[in-house]
């Protein structure tokens, strides 16, 4: 069974765990003002949406049509996630993704903070930060955007289109300094 864990920040640490039956195929929406949110072990859902105004957001071993992760201040971590569409939005903090596959689009945005992507793939992969570094290893896609206004970009790309015998891949790298 999948679960959602809420961890509330206060003078006393409190945690709430909600278990969801494997047969559930609807949507999961979790929002907190202050505290961490974690969702793990979901399969076949319509959507998973996790948000925190101040705290970490963690998605692990999730399979859904749409996965949306957001926080104003904190970190976002996604691992072993499969979806048609994946989005991560963060004002201040870092985004890490590992073994994430989107069959349509993956967007990742930070205002201030680094992004670290490992073994991430999507036909349309759009990664942007205003101030921070972008590190991408073994990423794959047909239309790739890596952008930072202040920071470095370092990327190793596996071209899905070339592996499938198609002629083109579109990649845009914009940075103050690209490695």
Round to whole Å and give the CA distance between 51 and 144. Answer: 26
Query: Are 152 and 132 spatial neighbours (Cβ–Cβ below 8 Å)?
Result: no
Highest mean pLDDT among 30-39, 111-120, 168-177: 111-120
**pLDDT value of position 82:** 98
Cβ-based neighbours of 178, under 8 Å, separated by 6 or more: 152, 153, 154
* Per-residue pLDDT reduced to its tens digit, 99-133: 999 999 999 999 999 999 999 999 999 999 999 99
């Amino acid at each position: 069974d999948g679960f959602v864990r809420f961890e509330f920040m206060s003078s006393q640490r409190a945690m709430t765990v909600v278990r969801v039956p494997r047969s559930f195929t609807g949507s999961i929406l979790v929002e907190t003002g202050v505290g961490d949110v974690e969702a793990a072990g979901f399969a076949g859902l319509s959507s998973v949406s996790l948000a925190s105004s101040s705290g970490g957001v963690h998605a692990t071993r999730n399979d859904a049509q749409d996965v949306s992760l957001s926080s104003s201040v904190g970190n976002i971590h996604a691992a072993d996630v499969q979806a048609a569409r994946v989005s991560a939005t963060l004002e201040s903090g870092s985004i890490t993704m590992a073994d994430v596959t989107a069959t349509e689009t993956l967007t990742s945005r930070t205002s201030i903070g680094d992004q670290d992507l490992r073994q991430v793939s999507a036909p349309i992969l759009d990664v942007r930060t205003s101030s921070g570094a972008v590190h991408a290893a073994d990423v794959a896609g047909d239309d790739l955007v890596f952008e930072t206004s202040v920071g470095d970009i370092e990327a190793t790309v596996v071209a899905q289109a070339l592996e499938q015998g198609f002629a083109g891949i579109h990649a845009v790298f914009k940075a103050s300094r690209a490695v």
